[in-house]
Amino acid sequence: MLKHKIQELMNEPGCATNQAKSDKDRKKGCGKSLVPGAAAGGCAFDGAKIALQPITDVVHLVHGPIACEGNSWDGRNSWSTGSDLYRRGFTTDMGNLDIVNGGEKKLYRAIKQAVAKHNPPAVFVYQTCVGALIGDDVDAVCKAATERLGVPVIPVNAPGFVGSKNLGNRLAGEALFEHVIGTVEPDDVGPTDINILGEYNVAGELDQFRPLLARLGIRLRASITGDGRYKEVAACHTARANMVLCSQALITLARKMKEKWDIPYYEGSFYGISDTSEALRNIARMLVERGADPTLTQRTEDLIAEEEAKAWAALEQYKPRLKGKKVLLYTGGVKSWSVIQALQEVGMEVVGSSVRKATEADKKKALERLGGDEEKLADAITPRDMYAMFKDGKADMMLSGGRSQFVALKARTPWIDINQERHHGFAAYEGMVTLIREIDLSINNPIWAQVRAPAPWDQE
Amino acid sequence: MALIVDHNKALSSSPLKISAPLGAALAFMGMKGCLPMFHGSQGCTAFALVMMVRHFREAIPLQTTAMNEISTILGGMEQVEQGLLNIAKRAKPEIIGLISTALTETRGEDMSGDVKTIRARNKELNDIAVIDVSAPDFAGSLETGWGKAVSAIIRRLAEPAEGHAKLNRVNLLPGCHLTPGDIEALKDIITDFGLEVAVLPDLSDSLDGHVPESYMPTTLGGTSVGAVREMGRAKLTIAIGEHMRISAQTLEAKTGVPFVVLDRVTGLEAVDRLMVCLSTVAGVPVPARQRRARSQLVDAMLDGHFYFGGRSVAIAGEPALVWTLGKLAADMGATIGAAVTTQAQAQLSELPAERVIVGDFEDLEDQILEAGGCDLILANSNGRQVATRHGIPLFRVGFPVFDRLGAAHQVSAGYRGTRDLITQLGNILMERPGHGHGHGHVHSEQTHGHSAATAG
């Protein structure tokens, strides 16, 4: 069962990378084999949890030994404007005896207790390696619990060993498609309802573009899953259009929603100024095509013109402070290209952009914005080489995720987190101005001169 | 006397427990030129790595055998072999800690046997110490894994003195509740007696937050393999924390070096015992600096006791931490309103508390409510939700502390460490109104209602 699902996910027709492959390569699937002793990144369970945890009002229960939840709970920076139930860690904390005797009964009791104490609209149950290995049937327990407790209990079948974090993201999408979406019929369907897929409200980014949508009269039916509510996600099949951010994670879900409920989707990004405009344009287009008030098109253009002008004007003051500074982008995916334009606009030089997690389409866009200089497209850079780039002055700063931060900092080089642990939202027009401001604060901080200078007794 | 209660709940809510493999990895962080590897799914490594990075704000060398579906069914020896060879090639470490996880233990991997086979057929591993540690997630917690790793390192590397003269040296086996700052302080104290010290593991040399001059793919410092081999030449081993007893016994069995286990090194009487011990080994009187520091601690206790008397503290952490902090709070006249730990450890029954619960942060919250509130919570950063919900100050201790700077440099060991801890806690209590009489105490009914509203 799980195997078929994984095979299907690996052969996603809606995926640009997959489309570009030869028949032979496509058959192999997209699972990169992980190299022992040289691997980095989370497992499938991690990916599934990341994708679903931002649903704020449900119990997220992990069926496994302590490491899976005990070592990770409340560690993501996804914000909520409502319930904070999602920030509590729930686990069956399997011990010796559970492994010998099987953990199904314990899991059922755990679900029952969680429902009794927190009265959530649903419970998500995550399978892990050990539960899968001893043959605990999470699907069956969830089914029984749903029937007996009268609360939807959703199995998320993505044990760590089946693959990477990205595969886990997709399996999370499968769980939503199979068990959640379409189970609630709302009574307030509107002509301008949309869903956003693959947005996790990190550092509150949703509210950097939700107000823009509101100004255009567009309603966010469901955010999947940042700041999400269970009932909204369950009713999201009634939306008129889907906007897919971070397409590698939930593209299959978008395609299946198109097939089943005829919801068109657009893959885009709210990172970067012109990309935000492009996203708004496409949302408006899809809605008008599906019968929304045609004046939406012009209203969208007006809003774009106003917001773009405001954003570019706000960036003006940073030009003299950032001109000529060399920045290394080490992120992958959408951000490998979407922030380049704003960086260039303030006069910074992007000396390299990593495209290791990016799709072919992402790579093409990055290359375009880097003036066709292929040398600047980096795959994975080893920490040693990266350290050398900073020491040799080939880059003045780095934008990356937390994993590589100490390579920069230990080389006494400014660094900003633009991945999931970031503390500032960098989405849409406002977010891009925030990013440039953060870069200015970092690169022009007075500490650099002092921390780089040798101690008096080490000076020539 | 406290009753140790383990409800053995089906549902753990807001876990306190950290996994044993992470504890083992943390111990290897105190070994020089080390790159440990989990034998498990890559997520096991990713979670542990992120947690340590957030706590120490340092790069953490930790690899994975990246078990997949096929190797989970057929066996993981090939993954272990590839992993070891890859690490040897890329990072050139002196020592690799190979740590099992729940996944590989559940399927019954023979890691020790596999390592022997792998070493026999790969000579590129000849110069690297490979220490395998069995530390499944489903048994014990952070302390357990740390202790198992230290014992494994000793079993593999320590040698009897045989023929070599004894040195004027002591071995120090710090528990995992001690910070790099604590270890540094203990090293200072020991050398103050004119003694040399060999610390295993030495986080104060690797995770003390310093800036090396070049890029390092392994740990930045720590105990060298050679230093462990020489541990047989010490006069005495001092183990700190009950969870280090087995390691100390192992070292004695291996080398003949006698040991003492100090239950803690925080608090006047506790540090006095350390001083007497060191003075006896070194054959010198307690140095003037330490006597002065003792006097300062006595003064801090005199100045500070006003703010502790009658106040109620809630403590959550690994057994050694709960013991250390609980004793200090009691020493200063505070009561222990709630105590939650990760495993039933016999010594905790001697804490002056009604109960010690083996549980999670939900248990801590319930205990606090039952006690009608408390004045201070001592716990890791995951205690912040409970603290915020009830408006009780949280003093961050233990692991992980990810929302404050300087977790590695918090010192509570020795006279000075105790003095500074009393000062910090006293200052928080001084600022808290009510002085244990009503104000600032939560009303349990109201709080229940509030938490239900935010959870709904």
pLDDT in tens, B180-235: 999 999 999 999 999 999 999 999 999 999 999 899 999 999 999 999 999 999 99
> What was the pLDDT predicted at A247?
62
- Whether the pLDDT of residue B440 is over 60: the answer is no
- Secondary structure (H, E, C), chain A: CHHHHHHHHHCCCCCHHHHCCCHHHHHHCCCCCCCCCCCCCCEHHHHHHHHHCCECCCEEEEECCHHHHHCCCCCCCECCCCCCHHHCCEECCCCHHHHHHCCHHHHHHHHHHHHHHHCCCCEEEEECHHHHHCCCCHHHHHHHHHHHHCCCEEEECCCHHHCEHHHHHHHHHHHHHHHHCCCCCCCCCCCCEEEEEEECCECCCHHHHHHHHHHCCCEEEEEEECCECHHHHHCHHHCCEEEECCHHHHHHHHHHHHHHHCCCEEECCCCCHHHHHHHHHHHHHHHHHCCCCCHHHHHHHHHHHHHHHHHHHHHHCCHHHHCCCEEEEECCCCHHHHCHHHHHHCCCEEEEEECCCCCHHHHHHHHHHCCCCHHHEECCCCHHHHHHHHHCCCCCEEEECHHHHHHHHHCCCCEEECCCCCCCCCCHHHHHHHHHHHHHHHHCCCHHHHHHCCCHHHCC
Q: How many domains, in total, are found in chain B?
A: 3
> What was the pLDDT predicted at B241?
98
With CA atoms as reference, report the closest residue to A188 among A243, A244, A231, A242: A231
Q: Is B100 on the interface with A (CB under 8 A)?
A: no
Are the Cβ atoms of B103 and A41 closer than 8 angstroms? no
Q: Is B139 on the interface with A (CB under 8 A)?
A: yes
In a domain, A456, yes or no: no
As a whole number, the mean pLDDT across chain B is: 93
CA distance B447 to B450: 5
The amino acid sitting at B23 is G
Mean pLDDT of B352-379: 97
- DSSP state for residue B284 in the 8-state scheme: S
Q: Are A396 and A179 in contact (CB under 8 A)?
A: no
Q: Of B248, B264, B287, which residue is a domain's last?
A: B287
Alpha helix positions (H), B122-244: 142-157, 180-192, 225-229
Instruction: For an interface test with B, give the residue of A92, A130, A382 to mutate (most B CBs within 10 A).
Output: A130
> What was the pLDDT predicted at A300?
98
> What was the pLDDT predicted at A145?
98
For residues B323 and B305, state if they share a domain.
Answer: yes
Which residues on chain B are in Cβ contact (under 8 Å) with A107? 10
What's the CATH code of the domain at A310? 3.40.50.12380
In a domain, B146, yes or no: no
Two tokens at A29? Answer: 């699937």
Are the Cβ atoms of B59 and A410 closer than 8 angstroms? yes
Are the Cβ atoms of B43 and A45 closer than 8 angstroms? yes
Which chain B residue's Cα is nearest to A122? B456
The b/e string for B242-256 (b: 16+ C-beta within 10 A; e otherwise) is bbbebbbbbbeebbe
Two tokens at A81? Answer: 């404007």
> What was the pLDDT predicted at B449?
36
CA distance B367 to B344: 17
For residues A307 and A322, state if they share a domain.
Answer: no
Most confident of A5-19, A446-460, B153-167, B318-332: B318-332
Q: A164 pairs with which residues across the strands? A: A43
Are the Cβ atoms of A95 and B138 closer than 8 angstroms? yes
Q: A415 pairs with which residues across the strands? A: A398
CA distance A315 to B313: 50
Which chain A residue's Cα is nearest to B399? A71
Q: Are A250 and A169 in contact (CB under 8 A)?
A: yes
Those residues whose C-beta lies under 8 Å from the C-beta of residue B397, and which sit 6 or more positions away, are B317, B321, B325, B378, B379, B380, B410, B412
In a domain, B157, yes or no: no
* Burial class of residue B7, CB neighbours in 10 A (0-12, 13-18, 19+): exposed
Q: Of B256, B287, B318, which residue is a domain's last?
A: B287
**How many residues in total does chain A contain?**
460
For residues B122 and B177, state if they share a domain.
Answer: no
In a domain, B414, yes or no: yes
Instruction: List the single residue in B69, B72, B102 with the smallest CB-CB distance to A65.
Output: B102
One pLDDT digit (tens) per residue for chain A, 460 residues? 687 888 778 777 777 666 666 666 665 555 566 889 987 789 999 999 999 999 999 999 999 999 999 999 998 889 999 999 999 999 999 999 999 999 999 999 999 999 999 999 999 999 999 999 999 999 999 999 999 999 999 999 999 999 999 899 999 999 999 999 999 999 999 999 999 999 999 999 999 999 999 999 999 999 999 999 999 999 999 999 999 986 678 999 999 999 999 999 998 889 889 889 999 999 999 999 999 999 999 999 999 999 999 999 999 999 999 999 999 998 866 677 778 888 988 999 999 888 776 777 778 878 888 888 888 888 788 889 999 999 999 999 999 988 789 999 999 999 999 877 778 899 999 999 999 999 999 999 999 999 999 999 988 6
For residues A335 and A289, state if they share a domain.
Answer: no
Are the Cβ atoms of B48 and A384 closer than 8 angstroms? no
Instruction: List the single residue in B72, B82, B137 with the smallest CB-CB distance to A133.
Output: B72
Q: Of A125, A153, A180, which residue is a domain's last?
A: A180
Which residues on chain B are in Cβ contact (under 8 Å) with A75? 50-51, 54
pTM: 0.94
Q: Are A430 and A448 in contact (CB under 8 A)?
A: no
Q: Are A398 and A418 in contact (CB under 8 A)?
A: no
In a domain, B107, yes or no: yes
Q: Is A262 on the interface with B (CB under 8 A)?
A: no
Cα B386 to Cα A62, A86, A381, A444, B369: the distances in Å are 21, 14, 42, 39, 11
Instruction: For an interface test with B, give the residue of A129, A400, A409 to mutate (most B CBs within 10 A).
Output: A129
Which residues on chain A are in Cβ contact (under 8 Å) with B15? 66, 69-70, 73, 89, 91, 93
Chain A: give the shortest CA distance to residue B141, in Å: 9
Backbone angles phi, psi at A350, to 5 degrees: -85, 110
SS3 at position B336: strand
In a domain, A20, yes or no: no
For residues A264 and A328, state if they share a domain.
Answer: no
Instruction: List the single residue in A75, A107, A130 with the smallest CB-CB distance to B102.
Output: A130
In A, residues 365-404, which contact B (CB 8 Å cutoff)? 383-384, 387-388, 402-403
What's the CATH code of the domain at B366? 3.40.50.1980
In B, residues 409-438, which contact A (CB 8 Å cutoff)? none
For residues A157 and A205, state if they share a domain.
Answer: no
Instruction: For an interface test with B, give the residue of A2, A49, A57, A66 to mutate (most B CBs within 10 A).
Output: A66
Q: Of A257, A285, A314, which residue is a domain's last?
A: A314
Which residues on chain A are in Cβ contact (under 8 Å) with B43? 42-46, 68, 160, 165
Q: Please, what sign has the CA dihedral across residues A238, A239, A240, A245? A: negative
SS3 at position B399: coil
Which residues on chain B are in Cβ contact (under 8 Å) with A72? 47, 50-51
For residues B260 and B299, state if they share a domain.
Answer: no
CA distance B157 to B390: 49
In a domain, B14, yes or no: no
Are the Cβ atoms of A119 and B456 closer than 8 angstroms? yes
For residues B275 and B296, state if they share a domain.
Answer: no
In a domain, A384, yes or no: yes
For residues A325 and A439, state if they share a domain.
Answer: yes
> What was the pLDDT predicted at B301?
98
Q: How many domains, in total, are found in chain A?
A: 3
For residues A283 and A379, state if they share a domain.
Answer: no
For residues B299 and B268, state if they share a domain.
Answer: no
Are the Cβ atoms of B43 and A43 closer than 8 angstroms? yes
In a domain, A7, yes or no: no
Q: Of B225, B253, B287, which residue is a domain's last?
A: B287
Are the Cβ atoms of A388 and B69 closer than 8 angstroms? no
For residues B229 and B303, state if they share a domain.
Answer: no
ipTM over 0.85: yes
> What was the pLDDT predicted at B347?
96
Q: Count CB atoms within 10 A of the CB of residue A2.
A: 16
Are the Cβ atoms of A66 and B21 closer than 8 angstroms? no
- Whether the pLDDT of residue B436 is over 60: the answer is no
For residues B405 and B267, state if they share a domain.
Answer: no
- Whether the pLDDT of residue B452 is over 90: the answer is no
With CA atoms as reference, report the closest residue to A225 among A435, A49, A460, A61: A49
Instruction: List the single residue in A46, A89, A387 with the smallest CB-CB distance to B14.
Output: A89
For residues B202 and B320, state if they share a domain.
Answer: no
pLDDT in tens, B80-102: 999 999 999 999 999 999 999 99
For residues B384 and B414, state if they share a domain.
Answer: yes
Two tokens at A412? Answer: 């006494």
SS3 at position B28: helix
- DSSP state for residue B166 in the 8-state scheme: P
Q: Is A215 on the interface with B (CB under 8 A)?
A: no
> What was the pLDDT predicted at A29?
57
Select the more confidently predicted residue: B329 or B440.
B329
For residues B445 and B312, state if they share a domain.
Answer: yes
What's the CATH code of the domain at A336? 3.40.50.1980
For residues A64 and A176, state if they share a domain.
Answer: yes
Mean pLDDT lowest among A24-33, A107-116, B412-421, B439-448:
B439-448
Instruction: List the single residue in A71, A130, A165 with the smallest CB-CB distance to B48.
Output: A71
Q: Of A245, A280, A314, which residue is a domain's last?
A: A314
In a domain, B145, yes or no: no
> What was the pLDDT predicted at A248?
73
In a domain, B155, yes or no: no
Chain B: give the shortest CA distance to residue A431, in Å: 24
Q: Count CB atoms within 10 A of the CB of residue B456.
A: 13
For residues B415 and B298, state if they share a domain.
Answer: yes
Which chain A residue's Cα is nearest to B104? A130
In a domain, A16, yes or no: no
> What was the pLDDT predicted at A423?
81
In B, residues 185-214, which contact A (CB 8 Å cutoff)? 211-212, 214
Q: Is A119 on the interface with B (CB under 8 A)?
A: yes
Chain A: give the shortest CA distance to residue B38, in Å: 9
For residues A201 and A305, state if they share a domain.
Answer: yes
Domain that holds residue B348: 3-8+291-455
Are the Cβ atoms of B86 and A83 closer than 8 angstroms? no
In a domain, A221, yes or no: yes
In a domain, B202, yes or no: yes
For residues A165 and A275, state if they share a domain.
Answer: no
Q: How confident is the model at residue B434 (pLDDT cuts 50, 70, 90)?
A: low
Domain that holds residue A416: 318-449
Are the Cβ atoms of A69 and B43 closer than 8 angstroms? no
Q: Is A104 on the interface with B (CB under 8 A)?
A: no
